[in-house]
Structure 1
Amino acid sequence: MEGTIKKLGQTEIYRGSRVHLVTETIQFPNGKRAEWELIQHPGAAAVIPVDADGKIIMVRQYRNATDGWTLEIPAGCLDHPGEDPLECACRELEEETGHQAKKMDFLYKFYSSIGICDEIIHIYVARDLVKTEQSLDEDEFVTVEHHSLDALLEMCFQGVIMDNKTISALLAYRYKYKL
């Protein structure tokens, strides 16, 4: 059912360094109102780095949400509202993997968790990589691994890789490039 939905107000609950939690008062077309919680996020960019052998460079890092180590494509938050997601993707590629790309192609973008968060993640494919050096933040502990697309997709279906941006990006990459 479509119609006019109005946001009547917003109350900030928490303001962190990366995310903000607000409640919003919403009025629906039938006149009823509701209070909805929303996590506000500046957005992010992620990249599928493809090496000269066609393998994908992945990063293994600790994630607090899982209380464990995860295997993911390199990614990071936009530094500020309005930052070009391509610049963010290039920065994160070099920081986390120690590579720059001569060619970066936009693949797609998506809401990370549309029911509760306004974060949009922009996905790129990096090719023609040049080795540089990792430049990790002081709170990042990242190891770099190279895997075939088939092996990574199998890890997704086995539940080894459970990160949504990585799973959807790998599937989109396979679909778009008919691999």
Structure 2
Amino acid sequence: MLADEPAFAPVTSSAIVFDGAVWDVRRDTFGYNGVGVVREYLDHPGAVAILALDAQDRVLLIKQYRHPVRVRDWELPAGLLDQDGEHPLVGAQRELAEEADLVAAEWNMLGEFYTSPGGSSEVIRIYLARGLTVAKEVFERTDEEADIEVRWVPLDDCVDAVLASRVQNPSLVIGALAAQAARARGWSTLGAADAPWPRHPVNWDHTV
């Protein structure tokens, strides 16, 4: 079976070299292949994304401004896991309500991925949310979220946009392809919404 292998090189020193407003840069020194290696990386709290699918197999997409790449890109509702002790599923439910004014009756784990494993500890879990209804509370949005554009797009059209490179957001790309593949298999590949998340750094077992 093809699978990544957990591996924990012994860290001899670790320090925050940049303390940012949202995330930090960490410098680790660790032993690997008999030598000491120094690497700096984005020390990230992780995030969740939600592929909200309605009864017509349409996906809820939002468009918002992303300054680092100077693009208003189409995305899945998503957000940081920056509230101490918050379960990822609860974070996903919160983000769906805050960004899309929706609640869902049915939740499953669709997939998860590292955004840039050579330079960041960020890992994102994508949830599939179905049985959608409008939230009772409408959230006020500010900054980049103030002019969010919302659109319902057929899942197949999302996949077409991914394959044509018209959309680039990684959560949308991975989520749309995973949802199409899961649907083709009768949704048999879905995981439990409360499934353990050993890939998230807060859950690392350094004895592996």
Question: TM-score normalized by structure 1?
Answer: 0.91
**1:17 alignment partner AA:** A
The residue number in structure 1 matching 2:32 is 28
Kindly report structure 1 stretches of 4+ aligned residues shifted beyond 3 Å: none
Q: Work out whether residues 99 and 134 of structure 1, in 8 Å CA contact, stay in contact via their aligned partners in 2.
A: no
Distance 1:86 1:102 in 2: 13
Per-residue Cα deviation, 1:28-68 (whole angstroms, up to 9, x for no partner)? 132x1121011111111110001232200000000012112
Distance 1:3 1:107, change over 3 A: closer
Distance 1:143 1:3 in 2: 42
The residue number in structure 2 matching 1:159 is 165
The residue number in structure 1 matching 2:9 is 5
Structure with the largest fraction of strand: 1
Gaps of 5+ in 2: 1-5, 186-208
What is the percent sequence identity of the aligned residues? 28
Q: CA deviation at 1:81?
A: 4.1
Distance 2:9 2:72 in 1: 41
Distance 1:3 1:145, change over 3 A: closer
RMSD: 1.9
**1:22 alignment partner AA:** R
Question: TM-score normalized by structure 2?
Answer: 0.79
Match of 1:38 among 33, 38, 41: 41
Distance 1:99 1:144 in 2: 12
Alignment pair present for 1:171 and 2:181: no
Distance 1:72 1:90 in 2: 16
Q: CA deviation at 1:122?
A: 1.1
Alignment pair present for 1:112 and 2:118: no
Q: Work out whether residues 96 and 136 of structure 1, in 8 Å CA contact, stay in contact via their aligned partners in 2.
A: no
Distance 2:26 2:184 in 1: 42
Per-residue Cα deviation, 1:127-164 (whole angstroms, up to 9, x for no partner)? 11001254244221311101011111111122221011
The residue number in structure 1 matching 2:201 is none
The residue number in structure 2 matching 1:19 is 23
**1:78 alignment partner AA:** L
Alignment pair present for 1:121 and 2:124: yes
Q: Work out whether residues 156 and 180 of structure 2, in 8 Å CA contact, stay in contact via their aligned partners in 1.
A: no
